[in-house]
Amino acid sequence: MSKVLLLSGLLTSLLLAGAAQAAEGDAAKGRLLAQEKCARCHNIEKGAAFKLQPPSFQAIAIYRTRQDIWGRIISPSPHSGMPDMMWALTPDQVQDAVAYITSLDTPVTLPQ
Ligand code: HEC
């Protein structure tokens, strides 16, 4: 009996660890995804020019919260020109994209 409990406890923690990881997203995968699906409109590179329309990913990382970025990927402002990614990406891919964008939140040096 106790072995069964121990095993189920272990499985639960493994599942929770897996879920936490999925919720965090994988920035490296997100970068590849961004190159494939976002770069034709957004400037996706760190230190790249601060493009405004649409905003560069680094600008988004600096000005938006993680939650806000997530929301704007799955449910963009209407008529903004941002395609609705809710159906184009899996939930994991959305998390990966968020992880990549938030990884760009570092100070920038503006050109003189
Ligand atoms: C067809 C061009 C296009 C593609 C492809 C595209 N976007 Fe966008 N995106 C836009 C435009 C246009 C906006 C709106 C800017 C505005 O509201 O002024 C936008 C806005 C956003 C915003 C909100 C920015 C903000 O701070 O208001 C996020 C986050 C975003 N895009 C992420 C992504 C991600 C991630 C991908 C790829 C999976 C992607 N976009 C692909 C054009 C695009």
Whole-Å CA distances, 5 to 16, 52, 112: 16, 55, 64
Q: What is the pLDDT of residues 87-112, one digit of tens each?
A: 899 999 999 999 999 999 987 666 66
**25 vs 100: CA distance, rounded Å:** 8
Structural contact between residues 103 and 61, judged by C-beta atoms closer than 8 angstroms: yes
99 lines ligand 1 (CB under 6 A): no
Residue nearest to atom 2 of ligand 1 (CA): 41
Q: Any idea which residue has 């970068």 for tokens?
A: 31
CA of 42 to the centre of ligand 1 (A): 7
Q: What is the pLDDT of residues 56-79, one digit of tens each?
A: 999 999 999 999 999 999 999 888
Q: What is the pLDDT of residues 35-59, one digit of tens each?
A: 999 999 999 998 777 777 899 999 9
Q: What percent of the chain has pLDDT over 90?
A: 57
The average confidence (pLDDT) of the chain is 83
CA of 81 to the centre of ligand 1 (A): 7
- Does 84 or 16 have the greater pLDDT score? 84
Q: Which atom of ligand 1 is nearest to the CA of 60?
A: 26
Query: Mean of the pLDDT values across residues 80-91?
Result: 90
* Whether residue 10 has pLDDT greater than 70: no
51 lines ligand 1 (CB under 6 A): no
